[in-house]
A = this chain, B = another copy of it.
């Protein structure tokens, strides 16, 4: 039986999970395979961690990544240190030394994916990265392989568990953002500095990877429009709920004849939309193609074992020789795709939720709807509540489809009205197809 030797670089949460799967219970997958997968070495700066796991005596346990990268025994290098540097250099050297790479590094692939893919091709090696998006959810494989026959039009979903936990907590327990975030931090779902998650950056990294795979086109990561959840107010969740919508942080990519609409932003979904019942730290991604119609993949988007499971499945894919064929034959993995224009956020068309704080006087509604009408925005529904906040009443509207540029112009005018106090809140809406 053929043996494939694996080296792990980075023994953090996911790395330890991968080591456990390979060492403690290899029969789980070994009995399904005609290959033997052997964990040959681990490099980590803090060697203390090795205490948690029982390592076989002949394994390379090192603080020096080069011992893994230069080992002639090792066939597959699993990069799990995350971040840009030195992960990029490690992967590059691994490829140059003839190792296939398995990684969960979304930031690196979002920013330097094409460059690394090109290096891999020049070395006749492959990079596998299922674990970089959606933990155990096989979304990369679905887009790359199972839906390859399709023209993939839309990809959108919940790809960050931290923010979904916070929004779920706000929605279900009526907690303010700060309190919900604190709960996430206490449970270990959010970092002490939560900005990468709550500002939407982690979602944008994952979206970049999915959108390139799905569109077979390249674009600059920086052109993604990104809005996080730190400004979300509880009352907007509440009013939207009353109108039949649930608030989620969505990563959205839509291809049309003009280019690619690609953005991360808090989004309202009708209650009956399958994504609106994805709660807590779960993730789910909807993929829409010309033949398949609407699909959704759901599961744990993070966590030690789900992510480790995806990494080990990628290792097996390399061991079977499939990743080489995939990487060598499928255009979105060439690192050399045609470019696509990213559309400016002002050109997108969606429905909008609007909440104004207005002075309770006759003619207010007429003035606001008049301005909206002048900018080609029509109203689908209105709630005006009697609740007063410092003599102000909240006025809530759902619009029909409108162009964001028009909305922005209208809001500039509306926010300047005497009767409107403070900045009008708006949220984009995603309808079921």
Contacts and interface: CB of A to CB of B under 8 A. Distances in A.
Interface of A: 17, 21, 25, 28-29, 31-35, 130, 135-138, 141-142, 145-151, 216, 272, 274, 277-278, 289-300, 303, 305-306, 308-310, 312-313, 315-317, 320-322, 325-326, 328-332
28 contacts: A21-B291, A25-B290, A28-B290, A29-B149, A32-B148, A32-B216, A33-B330, A34-B331, A35-B329, A136-B292, A136-B295, A138-B146, A145-B313, A146-B310, A149-B313, A149-B315, A274-B277, A291-B306, A291-B309, A291-B312, A292-B310, A294-B300, A295-B300, A296-B296, A297-B297, A297-B298, A320-B330, A322-B322
A32 B330 contact: yes
Contacts of A136: 146-147, 291-293, 295
A150 B296 contact: no
Contact of A298 (B135, B298, B317): B298
Contacts of A138: 138, 141-142, 145-147
Contacts of A151: 25, 28
A14 to B, nearest CB: 11
Nearest to A277: B277
B306 A299 contact: no
Given A274-B298, A298-B298, A312 B149 contact: yes
Contacts of A274: 274, 277-278, 298
Contacts of A216: 31-32
A300 B293 contact: yes
Q: Which of A300, A309, A325 lies at the interface centre, i.e. has the most chain B CB atoms within 10 A of its CB?
A: A309
A299 B293 contact: yes
Contacts of A320: 325-326, 329-330
A80 to B, nearest CB: 15
Contact of A294 (B33, B294, B299, B309): B299
A141 B293 CA distance: 19
Given A32-B216, A274-B274, A297-B298, 15 more contacts: A17-B291, A25-B290, A32-B332, A34-B329, A35-B329, A136-B295, A138-B138, A141-B141, A141-B145, A149-B313, A291-B312, A292-B300, A292-B305, A295-B297, A295-B300
A25 B331 CA distance: 17
Contact of A316 (B29, B141, B148, B313): B148
A322 B316 contact: no
Nearest to A323: B322
A287 to B, nearest CB: 9
A130 B149 contact: no
A292 B299 contact: yes
Across chains A and B, which 10 residue pairs bring their CB atoms closest together, nearest first?
A291-B309, A138-B146, A295-B299, A149-B312, A136-B292, A296-B298, A291-B305, A32-B331, A28-B151, A149-B313
Contacts of A130: 146
Contacts of A326: 320, 322
Given A299-B293, A305-B293, A313 B272 contact: no
A331 B141 contact: no
A294 to B, nearest CB: 7
A118 to B, nearest CB: 16
Contacts of A292: 135-136, 299-300, 305-306, 309-310
Nearest to A332: B32
Contacts of A332: 32
Nearest to A30: B331
Contacts of A303: 293
A274 B297 CA distance: 11
A149 B309 contact: yes
B296 A149 contact: no
A423 to B, nearest CB: 36
